Amino acid sequence: MRLKKVVAIFGSLIVILVIFMIYSTKDLIVYSNRKSSIDEDIRDNKLLHFEDRIKQLEANLNEHHNAVSEIKLAMKHMRQPSPSTRSIKNNSVPSMNYWPKRFVVSELMYDVSCPIQVNFVPKTNVQMLELYKSISFDNIDGGVWKQGWRIEVDERDWNRQNKLNVFVVPHSHNDPGWIKTIEEYYSTQTKHILDNMLLKLPEDPRRKFIWAEISYFAMWWDELDEEDKEKVKRLLRNNQLEIVTGGWVMNDEANSHWVSIMHQLTEGHQWLQQNLNYTPLSSWSIDPFGLSATQPVLLKEMGLQNMLIQRTHYAVKKQLAMQQHLEFRWRQLWGKYL
């Protein structure tokens, strides 16, 4: 009896085990099929994504090709001078007997990479590149400033009908950054200059003063009371005080990027507009490290009418002075500006 029970139990276990094995095997087959289906879906999605990327690249290439074609077509049309360039020929110079006609414009040279104007040399009475070749720069000792020369004036040449005009321009130049910090310069030097200006100019309406660096002027302005601020505005209205250039600093011209120059000029001009409702008309380049032909272009586009240049070689100043060419219209070889 006991043996029958054991056999029955053992047989039941075997049947259960067989059923479990059959179920597991069947489930494994279904899982494998499902996994392979998922893998196939993933591969299909990757292929679809890859195809989309290829289509996008093809579209970008076509767009780029169209843009290049348009550029080439535009460049071909630039072979002949544009109407604005041709019109330069017909522009006349103000009737001054010492100014020649402006220049002659040649045809444009076509190049697949960059169209440029060739043989485009303005007719000028002073060509600085040629002038530099003719100056020896020997710095002969000529007097007080070593590189200068002694100026003698015969007083008999001047009388009440033929007066000698002498221009005295009280001015100051304050670099915001050099040996000291801007705060040290302001507290030890700049503040005293501006305070003295505000004290002395109202005493005599004939007195004049010019200022350039708005960074220092803004620091000084913030310390003034309302009464002194009104004095400053009154001096500006009376043309006793003049703001020149109006940049936040007096920028270097030789190495600075034009975008940086415009940023600091814009900063200074916006401050002047907001606080004084003032727009400079003249530029003052007393101490930039180098001069460039780009600076006058930027200033001209901003509406400034005059520019005074200080930091040039004494030999150049001497040569221009002897030829009475220290006052001139500056024209760039590559531009249309005066």
Catalytic residue ranges: 287
| DSSP letters for 253-275 | SSSS-HHHHHHHHHHHHHHHHHH
Cα gap 194→215, rounded to integer Å? 13
Strand partners, 308: 284
Residue type, 213: E
What tokens does 64 get? 């780029």
Per the CB < 8 A criterion, the answer to whether 228 and 201 are in contact is no
Cα gap 31→269, rounded to integer Å? 76
DSSP code at position 153: -
In this structure, the chain runs to a length of 338
Cα gap 200→183, rounded to integer Å? 24
